Amino acid sequence: MKKFTTVNDIGDIKGAVKEALEVKANRFAYSELGRNRTLLMVFFNSSLRTRLSTQKAAMNLGMNVIVLDVNQGAWKLETERGVIMDGDKAEHMLEAIPVMGSYCDIIGVRSFARFENKAADYNEEILNQFIKYSGRPVFSMEAATRHPLQSFADLITIEEFKEAERPKVVMTWAPHPKALPQAVPNSFAEWMNATDYDFVITHPEGYELDPQFTGKARIEYDQAKALEGADFVYAKNWAAYTGDNYGKVLSTDRSWTVDAEKMKLTNNARFMHCLPVRRNMIVSDDVIESERSIVIPEAANREISAQVVLKRMLESL
Ligand code: AN0
Ligand code: CP
């Protein structure tokens, strides 16, 4: 595998889950595969889970790991070509990226949507420059439009916890005080559409996502109706995508918060969230603490999804 940025890069999804469960059962089976290989993780944004789980996955494979927090101690990077660099940015990405590539074998990049320019975000301009100029296999650690390591971990988690062969999975928008990217919901939708699950998305009007991700999913504006009979409730906030509202917070309506009353509408559903989560905005304390909440095993599976991706990349070096 030379690139991991979308569900398409993982190939057969059933095979990927099978490989993930094998890795999980024996996570040190390939501890020689990464010997003398170096992973560089480049963060333009904060992280807890991605940083720790991806580093752990690399260590399980015997790799060395370097982490660069671009905003803490690195030179400020110019991303636009043709700019007269007389401002505060000391270095251009066009030099920085191949230099980074020269110190490693595989690169992971976290670069969120900036909400300044919709086309730049949705063209994945930062991530694509890494793919083009680093000379290394590149994987997304959440880019502007997708978070595939998260969605892969979510899929593994659903496969582990599902009781029905074809579960009903409901992704619900929930309120949050700040504008958050669409990467997690886009990506989750893209991965759920690659399964045969009954997949429903619910959100207030104005929060429609890009149809290239929602695809064949059923969209239901009535949250209570959407939650009826759900086996999994996947909560997430995102900022508006459509038109001039791109990147805006249109609502912080707490009637969309997932609480115990909402969960009663479901088929005793499991509660999921990618974390970090704001309690009593996205989800009530009692729901996230309930025995139906699987947010911790979901986060733990981030190590597994990362290890499958790194293993496949190492195998193709
Ligand atoms: C990010 C987001 O919503 O994309 C990261 C989630 C994994 N969340 C925040 O910035 C709070
Ligand atoms: N879920 C997730 O990607 O978390 P971090 O932002 O902490 O990495």
Question: 156-168: per-residue pLDDT in tens?
Answer: 999 999 999 999 9
Tell me, in angstroms, the distance from the centre of ligand 2 to residue 157's CA. 16
Per-residue confidence (pLDDT) for residue 265, from 0 to 100: 98
Q: What pTM, to 2 d.p., does this model score?
A: 0.98
Predicted local confidence at residue 162, as pLDDT: 98
Q: Give the residue, by CA position, lying nearest to ligand 1 atom 9.
A: 180
**Identical fold, 3-146+302-316 and 150-298:** yes
Average pLDDT over the chain reads: 98
Cα-to-centroid distance, 16 and ligand 1 (Å): 25
Percent of the chain with pLDDT over 70: 100
Q: Looking at residues 77-100, what average pLDDT do you find?
A: 96
pLDDT digits (tens, 9 = 90+) for 185-211: 999 999 999 999 999 999 999 999 999
Mean pLDDT for the stretch of residues 229-254:
98
Neighbours of 233 (CB within 10 A): 28
Cβ neighbours of residue 148 closer than 8 Å, sequence gap 6 or more: 4, 5, 6, 7, 9, 10, 139, 140, 187, 191
At 244-268, the pLDDT tens digits run: 999 999 999 999 999 999 999 999 9
Protein residue with least CA distance to atom 5, ligand 1:
276
The fold of the 3-146+302-316 domain, in CATH, is Rossmann fold (3.40.50)
pLDDT digits (tens, 9 = 90+) for 285-301: 999 999 999 999 999 99
Contact 150 CB / ligand 2 (< 6 Å): yes
Contact (CB, 8 A) for 39 and 63:
yes
Q: Where are the domains of the chain?
A: 3-146+302-316, 150-298
User: Which CATH superfamily includes the segment(s) 150-298?
Assistant: Aspartate/ornithine carbamoyltransferase (3.40.50.1370)
Under 8 Å between Cβ of 203 and 227: no
What is the CA(165)–ligand 1 centre distance, in A?
A: 30
Contact indicator for 100, 35 with CB cutoff of 8 Å: no
The ligand placed nearest to the CA atom of residue 274 is: 2
Closest ligand 1 atom to residue 112 Cα is 4
Please name the residue whose Cα sits nearest to atom 4 of ligand 2: 49
Atom of ligand 1 nearest to the CA of 50: 7
